Amino acid sequence: MSEFKELVTFLRNENPTIRQIAIQNLAGFSTTQKQLFDNQSIQEVKLSCRDKPAIAHDAFSILVNISDSVLTSNAIVTNDFMVFLTSYIANPTALLADLACMLLSNLSKLPNVIHTICSQQIPVSLNNGEPSFIASKSESSTVQIEGQQTSFRAVPCLVEAFVQGANKPETAVESAEAQAKRKSNCHFLGSVFANITTTQPGREYFTSPSPSFEALANQTSDKEYPLAKLTAFTEHPNNIRRHGVASTIKNSTFVKDAHRALLAEDKEIIGGCSGVNMLPYVLLPLCGPEEFDIDEQEALPEVCQLLPETKKREIDPSVRKTHIETLLLLCTTLHGREYLRSRNTYVVIKAAHAEEKDQQVIDEMIKLVNLIMRQEGEETKIQELSAKESEMVDEDMMIEEV
């Protein structure tokens, strides 16, 4: 205990070598004796996240390790630190944003943190449409203070970081060769979005017209459905990103009033901006290399037509199950059921069912087919299914947010 406390005091030493040795030793305690981290030591570790990159790396790692506890997570979450954390992730120059994303993913399991993320504003300096996230100032990121001082909502900044990070090469050498603007891939933000869409404010944000990051940066009034920025990543090679996006899409589909906007093609204007066009990106991971009849093919979303022989289905059964559950949720409205029928969803599910090995996924597929293929009687030709049918008829099948 005395050794631990002494190490904490060294974090404020003027000599960076001593600070680095201290944080390295404290990192060992974060995996074996997490209970030693009290409010004071956590505060000191949080301050070290702004230190030199090697020191900040271990500081972020410690916070990731101890944030699996509600008690320590609440000690980490202060307003100043949350503003720093979201600003740091949003900053393209931040070297350790991936660790920061992992930390935010853990913290966003707390309801109070979800509320903070959804409502948070972060300070920004604007220079000719280029925002600089001034609250992220540290020795592992750069900021430009000069410019118009304003503030952005945090969530669209995180969405933009997630989009930018998708194409970042995975290795430092490849990044240098590609001269990547963003230094981190931010895959764990997918888990953050999945967590915040388990709540009403999070779902409302992703399914409602909202100013895009570009609109904020250029100070225009253009709006978009934020979920539309994520749908393209259902086929991304990174499993963490795919899983997070699939869960975010599914959780957003609980908003029945949004089904028209979610299914509308991007050339359609719904609520003053382009539709989300999510169905192709939910079906594509369920598609294999099968050839369909011409008539069946033409009704499918365009991206699901004439797929190459090399096309593979989603390899993770939990992600496949999530996509099927998304389609089931779309079936809770008449418009959703009719749209899925019109886009020949059945043939994709039929082919996927023939290859499926996971029994849980098979069970969900059967429920989906029963809903899509049934005849609509007078009692079901309503905008929404009854309360019992909204539970997919089967009482054992209640879909939950993930």
What tens digit of pLDDT does each residue of 251-284 get? 999 999 999 999 999 999 999 999 999 999 999 9
Instruction: Supply the pLDDT for residue 388.
Output: 41
pLDDT at 217 > cutoff 50: yes
Mean residue pLDDT across the chain: 91
Q: How confident is the model at residue 387 (pLDDT cuts 50, 70, 90)?
A: very low
Please check whether the two domains, 1-69 and 77-254, share a CATH topology: yes
Q: What percent of the chain has pLDDT over 70?
A: 91
pLDDT at 176 > cutoff 70: no
Taking the C-alpha atoms of residue 377 and residue 96, their distance in angstroms, rounded to an integer, is 56
Average pLDDT over residues 142-168: 94
Taking the C-alpha atoms of residue 139 and residue 105, their distance in angstroms, rounded to an integer, is 23
pLDDT at 177 > cutoff 50: no
pLDDT tens for 101-152 read 999 999 999 999 999 999 999 999 999 889 999 999 999 999 999 999 999 9
- Computed from CA positions of residues 203, 299, 350, 287, in that sequence, does the dihedral angle turn out positive or negative? negative
pLDDT tens for 86-102 read 999 999 999 999 999 99
* Structural contact between residues 376 and 337, judged by C-beta atoms closer than 8 angstroms: yes
pTM, entire model = 0.92
pLDDT at 76 > cutoff 70: yes
Instruction: Supply the pLDDT for residue 149.
Output: 94
* Residue 16, C-beta contacts closer than 8 angstroms, at least 6 positions apart: 51, 52, 55
Select the more confidently predicted residue: 171 or 383.
Answer: 171
Select the more confidently predicted residue: 179 or 166.
Answer: 166
Three-state secondary structure readout of 281-315: HHHHHHCCCCCCCHHHHHHCCHHHCCCCCCCCCCC
pLDDT at 178 > cutoff 80: no
Which of 193-207, 233-247, 387-401 is the least confident region?
387-401
Q: What percent of the chain has pLDDT over 90?
A: 80
Q: Looking at the domain 1-69, which fold is it? A: Leucine-rich Repeat Variant (1.25.10)
pLDDT tens for 5-39 read 999 999 999 999 999 999 999 999 999 898 899 99
Instruction: Supply the pLDDT for residue 179.
Output: 61
Strand partners, 131: 126
Contacts 24+ apart (CB under 8 A), 144-151: 149/123, 149/124, 149/125, 150/123, 150/124, 150/125, 150/126, 151/121, 151/122, 151/123, 151/124
Average pLDDT over residues 353-382: 88
What is the CB neighbour count within 10 angstroms for residue 181? 11
Domain layout of the chain by residue ranges: 1-69, 77-254, 280-392
Radius of gyration of the chain (CA): 23
- Pick among 1.10.10, 1.10.760, 3.40.50, 1.25.10: CATH of 77-254: 1.25.10
Average pLDDT over residues 398-402: 48
Alpha carbon distances (Å) from 227 to 51, 202, 257, 304, 325: 35, 11, 15, 20, 17
Instruction: Give the side-chain half-sphere CA count within 13 A for 162.
Output: 34
Instruction: Supply the pLDDT for residue 155.
Output: 97
